[in-house]
Amino acid sequence: MKFVDMSSDVGLWMDVEEFAIAKERDDLVFYSLEPVAAQIEEYDAIADGVVNSLSADKPLIDAYPGREKAHYWAGMWTNAFYGFTVAMIFIALVTIILRVRGGM
């Protein structure tokens, strides 16, 4: 919020952003919201990064270029590992059950 003193004698001020002219009053207090807007933009970038982390094909926040599918491949390898582990445990249990029952 930036103001220009139009006339000191009459007490007219102009808001540069909205081109509005108003009379200066003693009961008004003006605060600059530029630091707040900068902080909101920073939080907006962080929120975009969090939303992008939920998708497998979008870039992560502060990630190196070319790592857009990092979560996709990590998920594939993790699922393959756990799938292999569960399958081996299942095969071992079936083998033990068949040996105990005398089926082999």
**Interval 19-76: pLDDT, tens:** 777 777 666 666 677 888 889 999 998 888 888 777 766 777 777 777 777 778 888 9
Tell me what pLDDT residue 19 has: 75
Burial of 84 (0-12, 13-18, 19+ CB in 10 A): exposed
With a CB cutoff of 8 Å and minimum separation 6, the contacts of 19 are none
Tell me what pLDDT residue 29 has: 66
Q: Is the pTM of this model over 0.75?
A: no
Residue type, 13: W
> Residue 87: is its pLDDT beyond 90?
yes
Tell me what pLDDT residue 90 has: 98
C-alpha closest to that of 33 among 52, 17, 49: 17
